[in-house]
Structure 1
Amino acid sequence: MDWDKLRIFHAVADVGSLTHAGDSLHLSQSAVSRQIRGLEEALNVTLFHRHARGLMLTEQGELLYSATRDMAKRLAAATARIRDSEDEVFGELRVTTTTGFGTLWLAPRLIRLYERYPNLKINLMLDERVVDLPMREADVAIRLKEPSQADLIRRRLMDVRMRFYASEDYIGRNGLPATAEELMRHRIIGHAPDSPQVAAGQAWLRPFLDGDHPSHLTVNNYFGILQSVIHGLGIGALPDYVTNNQPDLVNVVPSQASGVVPVYLAYPEELRHSKRVAAFRDFILAEIAAYKRAQREAAEAAS
């Protein structure tokens, strides 16, 4: 099978357009069309349904696209490993984590990684979905549970708990609850029950959302919860890793906390010797150590 035709087919299937695929490949629309027609003739199948809004894959086209997608991922992995044989750390590293951890903990710290490796390009993929690392949907993952996929190198970074926080302004207007019973009489801001979240946090929060206040607020990510808390809408259920960058938030009813939520770093076994992965891993371990040290110092200062 002609590899060049497969490359062109993959580009067309990605964007659903001969013109747009031609632009990305620096080919004319007619040249792309001839290659697709030649591939269809060689296979004796129709790969695309053509309609006014663009191109859609046929059932046979879907099968071929699945194969070319796997080929593209393997080629990207091979290219990365070849480049990682050099001394310099450069190129793209795809990092996946949750929206909350990515926006509230990781992103504010990335400046230190770029200062050390200015030629490293991070593609930060924020998603509650667990991506397939062995299939190279991402290179590195930071997840709030132990990865279950095989052929992964994993390391437990730290433990997180969910706690209740409020702004000083909210407390000034509404008072500081001292017990769980008093807390239930306030507006609680938490993760929507039907949105992806860790089981420990969901089970802990549920009784408070069922409390007496008539107008709780639920949000589908922690960044939205944090913004609502900062602006005084109520008392928010947030992971304790947000407090380092939010010194004005008050931990309400400190005895109330969820069960332990483990944070793991994971990457495919085949990237064990990747210099980019090693650079990111060492950066994360250093940041975790600094974070834990700051937590200990804050606890000692409060006692």
Structure 2
Amino acid sequence: MQVLAQQPRRAAPLDRLSWDHLRLLLVLAESGSFRSAALVAGVSLNTLRTKIDRLECQIGGQLIERSVEGVRLTQDGSELVSIAREMRALGKTAERVQIGAAAVRDTQIKIAVTEGLGTFWLVPRVVAFREENADIQINLRCEMTTPDVLFRDVDIAVQLVKPTNPNLIVQRVGTLHIMPFAADSYLRANGTPVSVEDAQRHTLVWLDGDQ
């Protein structure tokens, strides 16, 4: 004699479960009845029952017990509802982060930079940045004074002097080469320097500033 036994159904992995089905189970658990849950979820009574039945098939077990007084969660149902509550909380957290990120993006960034770097190096890069981030306004302050980033005088400073405050985030972005220039008339009158020592006897014009 052969004994035939039905193979137990395998439960679907949690990542295969539909959030829509889990959400409806959560609403059902919090409402206490199919009729109330259908009204809260904005679906028909038949749709709600069909999706709960489908979720039970995916889990491979009973999630709720029906009675004239309403519905009551089984142990599997209680565990799944707890997971659904965590997912809902994470979803709300992600939504708040997204709203916060959108608020940050819709803002103005103040950048301080020296005059030469601002005109010839930074402005072309700002144009390219604005093409991809049209909602961000860039306020450039081109001057030779050292800005106060720590107290939000500006948000970002591109400067020649390395900050020493440990509370600032410092990143080297490049190397600036300084080269001397002279007019032809000056060189004809005073000669062309051939060494650093030779240059010391020449007249130098230097732009003075904090940096």
**Shorter-chain TM-score tier:** 0.3 to 0.5
Relative contact order, higher structure (CA 8 A, sep 6+): 1
- Tell which structure's C-alpha radius of gyration is larger: 2
Higher strand share: 1
